[in-house]
Amino acid sequence: MLLRHIAPLEDSPEPLTLTALPDPTCGDSDLLVKVSACGVCHTELDEIEGRTPPRELPVIPGHQVIGTVAERGKNVRAFSVGERVGVGWIHSACGTCAYCQRGEENLCPSFRATGRDVHGGYAQFMTVPAEFAHRIPPAFSDAEAAPLLCAGAIGYRSLRLADMHDGYRLGLAGFGASAHLVAKLVHHLFPRTQLFVFSRSEGERRFAEELGAAWSGDFTDTPPVKLDRIIDTTPAWKPVVESLRHLAPGGRLTINAIRKEPHDQDSLSRLDYAEHLWMEKEVKSVANVTRADIREFLEIASRAGLTPEVEEFPLEEANRALRELKERKIRGAKVLRTS
């Protein structure tokens, strides 16, 4: 599925076109992956609508990719043909800069994103440097494993950057693919922690309560207690401002979003220092993921039996999946299957 033009989804409801392309060529240090499943992420909407535009067009989106090794380059020894692998948002980094040397390859100036800077997984085949591919635990089906590579891994990174401790009161602003996996992960890692979920969707709020949330409400609703940590996974500014209001003194808001929608920036005009930021409150952003985030989370998820709720679509219906994501018709994660 090719993205050829940048435009709001309202103006271009079928942004991706099904196109026949030659199979990609496998480089000496690459894997050629035969794709079986690819998760659908809000970042694809950010690409399509121009908030994080691809370097070049056309491009094949998709960065939560599960498949099997169809071919390996002559320098590759780590994987075998036929082995199941995954590809996440991080497609490559330079490996030599100061960020890469200290394990922060997500901040590398040469960071390249799967499905944005290079062709991704809304396809039958894709290539990836072998050192940026991941083995997939056998506990997960292809559809279950796909969201773990981004929604799960970025949720795991968000929890680490939030500096969580067992017993903290944790708020989740938005309850899509990533947040529902954070909720499951929190129950495993921090069993004494209570979850408070904010969403404008009644369906998402009900889903959160099914997964054990102690309270749920709209972004403007006030929870019964102040919260020690909040993780925001929304594309808008309003939940950020409202979340700061709900933080306890010394609390931290972690923003897990690659971009925010510009039409909502007027929400920032209501930011008041005394109400929203005073009392040593902190704001931390999440930028991309590292390979270690993905591999550590896959191990934890496998050990804990943590599986996402998924809704499957054939690859040919990628546009429908994206429209439903835009309309917040979400319960868990959406996954494309390649026949």
pLDDT at 159: 96
| Burial per residue of 44-75, b for 16 or more beta-carbon CB atoms within 10 angstroms, e otherwise | bbbbbbebeebeeeebbbbbbbbbbbbbbbee
Whether residue 184 sits in one domain with residue 256: yes
Whether residue 112 sits in one domain with residue 204: no
The answer to whether 332 touches 180, Cβ cutoff 8 Å, is yes
Whether residue 70 sits in one domain with residue 44: yes
Q: Count the domains in the chain.
A: 2
Question: Which domain-ending residue is among 249, 270, 285?
Answer: 285
Whether residue 299 sits in one domain with residue 269: no
Whether residue 170 sits in one domain with residue 142: no
Per-residue model confidence as pLDDT tens digits over 89-121: 999 999 999 999 999 999 999 999 999 999 999
Query: Which residues, given as ranges, of the chain have pLDDT below 70?
Result: none
pTM of the model: 0.94
pLDDT at 267: 86
Domain membership of residue 130 as a residue range: 2-147+289-337
Whether residue 167 sits in one domain with residue 139: no
pLDDT at 268: 86
Whether residue 257 sits in one domain with residue 160: yes
Whether residue 134 sits in one domain with residue 255: no
The domain that holds 225 is classified in CATH as: 3.40.50.720
pLDDT at 44: 97
The answer to whether 208 touches 201, Cβ cutoff 8 Å, is no
Of residues 55, 52, 46, 40, the one with CA closest to residue 1: 40
Whether residue 296 sits in one domain with residue 281: no
pLDDT at 51: 95
Whether residue 6 sits in one domain with residue 143: yes
